[in-house]
Structure 1
Amino acid sequence: MGLQVDEQEVSHSRLATIAPFLAGATAGLVCDATVFPMDTIRVRYRGPAMPEELRGASNSTGLKKVASRLQRYSLLSEASAILRTEGIRGFYKGLSVVMLTSCPAFGVYYLTYEALKSRMSTMAAGKEWSQDVVHLTAGALANVCGMVIWTPQEVVKSQTQVQTQSSINPSTVVRQIYSQNGVRGFYRGAVIGSLTWTPLSAIWFMSFERLKSLSARQDTVENMDRMAPGALALSGFIAGVIACTATSPIDVVKTQYQVAGRGVAASSLVGSSPPSTAVDIAGALLRNEGPIGFFRGVCAKSVWYGTFMAINITVYNSVKLALQECGS
């Protein structure tokens, strides 16, 4: 009888240990399937260059005039163009590669965050200010681990999304990338990607934990993991907007750099010879569009990421609690 109890305790302990991985994998799958069309619009809007009529507008006119002219090149017009030329399927280009990689990536992401948060919180116990450092650090390192999977996913997905030909699919893009650059091609922009997503993840987790704590105090909830789903989702959304606004400039450069691979997406970018480095792209953006170019699509990114993380953290928390209850 004692042996049976011990085996049950071991089984429950193992389930509790892997609960963040399983919950993260589920959350990633649900979120990617839900908000993928928004991401396609975001990448199309940020990836290609601004139309010729707007080029240099920010250097020759006031910001109000630029904003007025940009209305003709809006997110809605981008969505309308996709629907008109490619149909509903155009919004889901690259979804298959995301569905295959999101489960393990988000599983590793949340497993790493929870493990580091638990250990570092114990070390920093009793120091209120130190919790922000804990969440920043754990969020940053969790992203670094997840990027081993996310970087190839993002490269293939982005280059598939910017294609307008219906015959281009992820498998075609994968073959083209590998034939031209080998394995290194799948990690194109890994450094600049890390410089974008690592602070984004760190800022999101810090902001989210702060907002969650504030919401729990107002609602007098003792266990923050058992907050109302609506409050959890709202905290996740607001944290997403904060993080996106802070990291928008480098994200614009990163997106254009990743879709500028020769032979795959070059035809959709500025000229036949796109800039070869992130610094070149940043310089071209500044010359052609001015400072406003670094914030192109920031609203779309904020809405997309905020919505994504609101759904993600709500699903993650619900699945994690369910698994923990099964193991108790």
Structure 2
Amino acid sequence: MVANLNSLLKKTFGYDSFRPLQEEIIRAALDGRDVLVLMPTGGGKSLCYQLPALVREGLTIVVSPLIALMKDQVDALQAAGAPATFLNSTLNADESRHRIAGLYRGEYKLLYIAPERLMLSGTIEMLESWKPQCIAIDEAHCISEWGHDFRPEYRQIANLRDQFGQIPMMALTATATDRVREDIATQLRLHEPQRFIASFNRPNLQYRVVPRRSALRQILEVAGKHEGESGIIYCGSRNGTERLAKRLTENGVKAAPYHAGMNAKDRNRNQEAFIRDEIQVICATIAFGMGIDKPDVRFVIHQDLPKNLEGYYQETGRAGRDGLSADCVLL
């Protein structure tokens, strides 16, 4: 088993060895245990459910709150030759039917889906035919009212226990207090879950709190220090993201806004431009907070105060996911 896991790790994901706790989590999942994973952004959470999904027979459902995250991860898996797909509102009717037909034929090992779509009666009926073998719940703190990003639709996921008996579940998050962790386990009705808590020390991130004087000038100084490198700037309002992106572009820094008030097409276009390095900076609200998989973000600036410490940790965690040095600046 050890040799097989390491071989698959290298062949599919390109890594020579597991990061701390990954192998133990994967083994617990393959033993059919319920698992609760608390691991920092950039710590390799996704691999903890992706690799077991490729090993075990049948389909693994991945519940993900963000459409952008689904697409990023499925694109990466498909590029590595792993049979994965997603179902969400960005697909037209023909594309959805094509993917659903593939699921009926057993062509996929991983299905990414949002909680709202998952709990539709029609989806539940299809799941009964697809016979999922595991459910992974990413960004699991969304299920807790005590968390910083509560989403009521996450509460319905536990109903799958009634539908599919003791199908093993894996709940994963990068940010959860003791109270939130207990709430996740209770709400999902996890059965004697094996808990894994990784170190949250990110020594490659340099944190600085800078007195705010001229925010635009200060932001341009940081961006100038990181010329040609990617950065995220968090703003407290939707209008703030658009104003700042415009001012940065006028000052020679290619930037684009990202917030929940934009239509999905524009948001996705700006995100793709950021990931492909067509723009240097994304000016965002917390709508950009979860699951954006770009390893080489070299700076994160908060132009305004974050909502709370958990949110700040999650947002600055977008920086330096490749393990190289990155700056986190709070104005």
Greater percentage in helix: 1
Superposition TM-score, scaled by structure 1 size: 0.21
Greater percentage in strand: 2
Which entry has the higher C-alpha Rg, 1 or 2?
A: 1
Superposition TM-score, scaled by structure 2 size: 0.21
